[in-house]
Amino acid sequence: MVDIEKCKRRIYEIIEASRGDDYTSKTYDCMVTVAVIVGLLPLTMKTTNKYITCIDITTTAIYLIDYIMRVYTSDYKMGVKSYKAYIAYMLSPLAIIDFLSILPIATIFLPPLPVIKLIRIFRIFRVFKLVRYSKTMVNITNVIRKVKNQLAAVLVITVIYIVTSAMFIFQIEPDLFDTFFDALYWATISITTIGYGDISPISTAGRFVTMISSLVGVAVIALPSGIITAAYMDEIKKKKSKLEL
């Protein structure tokens, strides 16, 4: 008699990122990785043809089977033998990415309405499926999860500064901007030190605000980079310490 629980455990071992000498798991990882890369081809084409449609259907079928198996074995993934494990997994970031990767196939069978066509954009989420098969990307994801509060604080400060500087420049250079959104656009590209030059302040006060925004932009870019780098190095040191033990 077939041991269903044993089979379920084996499925979980295969679909998870391969470890050790599990040849079947490594083969599965390679198959899904190739399917993800090939599945991105439709994004490089302006129009569709029968070959692109065939690629889309085939790769989506692989994504769908992969998604079903991951949901089916999510109690092992979450470490809880309860229906809550299935719900928790389906609401996890990677599971949502897996689901969104499948949705674009609906555009083949539904009428070509503008809203339906927008679903095709979800194909870009397929590239994030590669995260679970890269140890480096898993480490970076873990690091970002650990410092998410600090990064959120930096984001809030940045947004406040962008809105504030947009208000300043909107009042200082009223003839330069048609709407406040234009001022927000200017503030955003200035703080990121890109400065396309399509909107350039004329007055001395306006140029002074631009200079300040550019200087603040250097700190805005450097701060999260420093936070992530420090946390990543800490993560590497911890893993090395565990290996030494």
Q: Are 165 and 237 within one domain? A: yes
Domain presence at residue 144? no
Considering the domain architecture, whether residues 11 and 115 belong to the same structural domain is answered as yes
Kindly state whether residues 51 and 104 are assigned to the same domain.
yes
Domain contains 143: no
For residues 91 and 157, membership in a common domain is answered with: no
Which segments of 40-123 does DSSP mark as H helices, in order?
50-72, 74-78, 83-90, 93-102, 106-109, 114-118
CATH of residue 11? 1.20.120
Task: Read off the pLDDT band of 145 (50, 70, 90).
Answer: confident
- Which of 106-115, 140-149, 153-162 shows the lowest per-residue confidence on average (mean pLDDT)? 106-115
Instruction: Yes or no: say if 30 and 23 are a contact pair by the CB < 8 Å rule.
Output: no
- Distance from chain centroid for Cα 232: 18
Q: How far apart are CA 10 and CA 42, in angstroms?
A: 33
Query: Which of 107, 133, 159 is the last residue in one of the domains?
Result: 133
- Domain stops at, among 78, 107, 133: 133
Place of tokens 């234009």: 182
- 221 pLDDT more than 80: no
Q: Domain for residue 139, yes or no?
A: no
Cα distance between residue 101 and residue 95, in whole Å: 10
Q: Which residue has the tokens 């140890």?
A: 135
At 174 the pLDDT is 79
Task: Round to whole Å and give the CA distance between 235 and 232.
Answer: 5
pLDDT of residue 135: 67
On whether both 208 and 115 belong to a single domain, the answer is no
Domain count for the chain, please give it. Answer: 2
Confidence bin at 244 (pLDDT 50/70/90) = low
Which residue range is the domain that position 189 belongs to? 149-244
Asked if residue 28 and residue 129 are part of one domain, the reply reads yes
What pLDDT is attached to residue 121? 78
Give the lowest-confidence range in 80-84, 157-161, 187-191: 80-84
Residue 112 has pLDDT above 80, yes or no: no
Q: Residue 193's pLDDT band (boundaries 50, 70, 90)?
A: low
pLDDT value at residue 196: 63
The more confidently predicted of residues 167 and 17 is 167
Is 106 within the bounds of a domain? yes
What's the confidence (pLDDT) of residue 1? 46
Q: Are residues 28 and 115 in the same domain?
A: yes
Residues 13 and 73 placed together within one structural domain of the fold? yes
Maximal C-alpha separation, the chain = 84
- Mean pLDDT computed over 170-185: 85
The arithmetic mean of pLDDT across residues 58-87, rounded, is: 86
Q: Which of 99, 133, 167 is the last residue of a domain?
A: 133
What CATH number is attached to the domain comprising 153?
1.10.287.70
- Same domain for 115 and 16? yes
Interval 87-103: pLDDT, tens: 888 888 888 888 888 88
Looking at the structure, do residues 189 and 220 belong to the same domain, yes or no? yes
- 49 located within any domain: yes
User: Are residues 81 and 112 both part of a single domain?
Assistant: yes
Rounded-to-integer distance, Cα 217 and Cα 2, Å: 62
**Domain contains 155:** yes
Contacts of 99 (CB under 8 A, 6+ apart): 67, 90
SS3 242: helix
* Stretch among 70-74, 117-121, 124-128, 188-192 having the lowest mean pLDDT: 117-121
Predicted pLDDT of residue 242? 65
Q: Same domain for 106 and 178? A: no
